[in-house]
Amino acid sequence: MTVKLASPIKTQIVKNLNDLVESGELGFVDELDLSKDPFDQRYPKYPVALIGMSSFESEEEENQTNQRTYIFPILILQKGENIESPVDMEDLRDALVNKFDSDFTLAGTAIGAIRPAASTAYTASTPDKKIIYFIFTIKAKTLYELGT
């Protein structure tokens, strides 16, 4: 049986994002569907958080242990018409980082502290809407015991 390390981390990230839906900071959370253009989709409510498939880095920790850093990109989308102030996207970014800073081990699925980061905001236009977006990234470390 394969040891699952990425999926428990992703599950906890999604839980934290859904907590932000409950608090009103986000409107909708889903997995990023790579078969569809995320800018052309209709979502029930904005802002939207779409979590993508992780990438990872691995390095030998000890002779039987590797430390893996899973990197989860989260595409954050907001309708341009919902932007009321030049700092709205920064406030949203701060709400995200504050949430993850307060759960820095992702309920024990990550060792040590996670490292959240965000890109600058960009604009994308479709025929019927203007989207402001940025990539929020979570880097979470965990250990893999060789042979498990």
Helix (H, G, I), strand (E, B) or coil at 142: strand
Residue 143, beta-bridge partner list: 67
| Cα dihedral 4→7→8→10 (10° resolution) | 160
pLDDT over 90 at 32, yes or no: yes
Note the pLDDT tens digit of each residue in 48-101: 999 999 999 988 877 788 888 999 999 999 999 999 998 999 999 999 999 999
- pTM equals 0.92
Q: Would you say 12 and 103 are in contact if contact means Cβ atoms under 8 Å apart? A: yes
Reported as a pLDDT band with limits 50, 70 and 90, residue 113 is confident
Lowest mean per-residue pLDDT among 25-29, 45-49, 59-63, 112-116: 59-63
